Amino acid sequence: MRRIVVVMATAALLVAALTYAAQQSFTIRGRVGATDQEAQEGYFALDSQTMIVVKPGSEIHAYLRSKVGQRVRMTIEQETGSE
């Protein structure tokens, strides 16, 4: 009985730690793809599974336009201290 409680407590702790880590940031990797029109409008694909939409004229827009066709790694983090 005691072994089951220890295993369940360990599993709960692991799930809590993974949930906390997921809330802090996540990383995506892949090749940036976009047609000229998509890039102008701020639509970029990362491989075949992720679409990123950014505001045209922003810093991230200029960065992604310069990286079309290249592999990138992007980390999305929650900004601390702002609302």
What's the pTM? 0.64
3-state secondary structure of 50: strand
Taking residue 32's Cβ as centre, other Cβ atoms within 10 Å add up to 21
Report whether pLDDT(2) > 70.
yes
The 10s digit of each residue's pLDDT in 30-74 is 999 999 999 999 999 998 888 999 999 999 999 999 999 999 998
Report whether pLDDT(82) > 70.
no
| Alpha carbon separation from 3 to 6, 9, 17, 53, 68 (Å, rounded) | 5, 10, 21, 49, 53
Could you tell me the two tokens for 3? Answer: 């072994």
Are 25 and 19 a contacting pair, CB within 8 Å? Answer: no
